[in-house]
Amino acid sequence: MLSFYGFPESVRVAFSMLTVLGAGTAALVLVLHQYRLKRGFNYWLESSLAFLVLCQTVVNAALVAWVQYNVAEGFFTQGGYTVSRYAIFTAVTTVATLLLIRRIKHSHKKALIPCIAAAASFMTLPFMETWTNRLFPVFFSSALLLLLISGVVITVKIYGELMTSISSLSIKQAMDSLADAVLFYGKSGHILMQNEKMQELMVATAGRVFYNGRTYLETVVIQDAEYRNEDSYLYRIGANGRHGDSVWLFSVSKITLSKKNVTRIIATDVTEQDKAAILLRNMHDELEQRRERLGALVKSIEKICRAEELLRVKNEIHDEQNKRMIPLLQYLRYNELPDGVTFNSLSADILRSIRKTGENAPADPKAMLDAVLNQYSRMGVEIYIDGAFPPKQEISAAFVQILIEAAANAVRHGYANVINMTMMDDGCCVTMQITDNSPLPPREIKEGSGIAGMRRHAEKLGGSLEIFTIPRFTLTAIIPMRSEGI
């Protein structure tokens, strides 16, 4: 290296810049080579050669820096880094030879690159410095140019290969273009690959970037998740975060890559879906409130309609009975009795009116019963009820209809003025018995439309109707509490 001491400062600086550019290019080749997807013996030979070339360029830069330092200090030395230069040359030659053999064997077009690396390393050896004497700077500069040019060519080729084929770099770029955050980590939690969106999400959720995927999952996602379901976690980021007020769904799954078990985390932005769910929930709650208000309104309307209908029926009964009772009152006022035909006609009209009232009465059994009892009481006929009607409205309504018909028959045909009704409930069936104070019928009872109607009311609900005349006239209606008709 003694020849370099006689060069001007500008030349020595140029050599320094050349060595730095060569080292930078060699480092770039080594970095880009790591993004290549292919694996195998050739891959590792090429990686090793790229690393050794980087070491060679670093030693070259150190030699030129050593000369610059000696010139500044005012003394001159021969050589430098002798052992390192021979060791690197031996390693470069060995790896280049193996790579050259494999490439020639497979007719590879890049067989020249290993030869260039070995030749450049050879031209910088210490014995070349002694053998070439003053011509050594020419060989040294030629080696620097060869390494720089070959490094640039290799960089362009590898970059073009990465852009046009599947590689670690293309996979990384594809992952970075995803809208979802993606992360892969191994058994120890070491992150194998993640995209930029996941790094941004780490900062947004924890304030820093994690280098262990399991730690991030367990200490941040799982611990602070708003909702979890098996291997899914819903995470809400506050308005102060980088992503604003957003909601992310983390999905964790075990997969196999290259015969290795890894864990995959995918985080999807579900902010819009969450807003839609909240909106639907609010609308559902509002609809429920409206439904409750509407139900209360309907009940109020039904209550008002029932009250109006009951009032209408009472008024109708009152008016109808007044018309029927006026002729009787006229007879009684003058202490006269109507003939049998007239009396039977008036009483039949009154009872027919009561039956009609029962048929047109509102659906409330209690209101219907009260109206009928009131009208019979005004006629001087008392109806006594022992026991309570069943809670089921349909059964109670059927019993009231039967009572109306039975009372009408008792008054019309038996001239009864006292009617007794007894309700009995054994938990399975409800039994209603009706008796009156009329004398026993002089002949066998023939069922007409009245008894047929009462039997129809009972049978409609799965029940039955029986009539007994001994020891006194008794009508028995039985309706089961759990019939198919209910």
Q: What are the tens digits of pLDDT across the range 133-142? A: 778 778 888 8
Yes or no: is domain 179-269 CATH 1.10.10?
A: no
Whole-number pLDDT of residue 484: 44
Hey, what amino acid is at 184? F
Tokens, residue 428: 């399975």
> Taking 90 as the threshold, does the pLDDT of residue 250 lie above it?
yes
Other C-beta atoms closer than 10 Å to the C-beta of 161 total 17
Beta bridge pairs of residue 63: none
Torsion of CA 64, 126, 123, 137, to 10 degrees: 50
CATH architecture observed for domain 381-486: 2-Layer Sandwich (3.30)
SS3 181: strand
Please say if the pLDDT value at position 351 is more than 60: no
Q: What contacts 24+ positions apart, CB below 8 Å, involve 371-377?
A: 371/310, 371/313, 371/314, 371/317, 372/400, 372/403, 372/404, 372/407, 375/317, 375/321, 376/407, 376/411, 376/419
- In this prediction the pTM is 0.40
Encoded amino acid at 310, one letter:
L
Exposed, middle or buried by CB within 10 Å (0-12, 13-18, 19+), for 235?
Answer: buried
Q: Are 116 and 93 in contact (CB under 8 A)?
A: no
List all residues 6 or more positions away from 266 whose beta carbon is below 8 Å from its beta carbon. 180, 181, 182, 250, 251, 253
Size of the chain in residues: 486
Least confident among 72-76, 221-225, 289-293, 456-460: 72-76
The one-letter amino acid code at 253 reads S
pLDDT of 362 higher than 70: no
Between the alpha carbon of residue 230 and those of residues 219, 226, 233, 251, the distances in Å are 17, 13, 8, 9
CA distances from 475 to 205, 405, 442, 462, 464 (A): 82, 11, 17, 17, 11
As a whole number, the mean pLDDT across the chain is: 79
Q: What would the DSSP string read from start to end of 323-341? A: HHHHHHHHHHHTT----HH
pLDDT at 264: 92
Q: Are 89 and 44 in contact (CB under 8 A)?
A: no
Residue 381, SS3 per DSSP: coil
- Look-up: residue for tokens 């980088």? 242
pLDDT tens readout for residues 375-403: 788 777 888 999 888 888 888 888 888 88
Between 289 and 108, the more confident residue is: 289
Kind plus residue range of the DSSP H or E element containing 358: helix 340-360
Express each pLDDT in 153-176 by its tens digit: 888 887 777 666 656 666 777 788
**Confidence band, pLDDT 50/70/90 cuts, at residue 110:** low
Helix runs in 9-40, H state only: 9-34
Q: What one-character-per-residue DSSP string does 268-332 give?
A: EE-HHHHHHHHHHHHHHHHHHHHHHHHHHHHHHHHHHHHHHHHHHHHHHHHHHHHHHHHHHHHHH
- Is the predicted pLDDT of residue 17 greater than 90, yes or no? no
Cα dihedral 479, 480, 485, 486 sign: positive
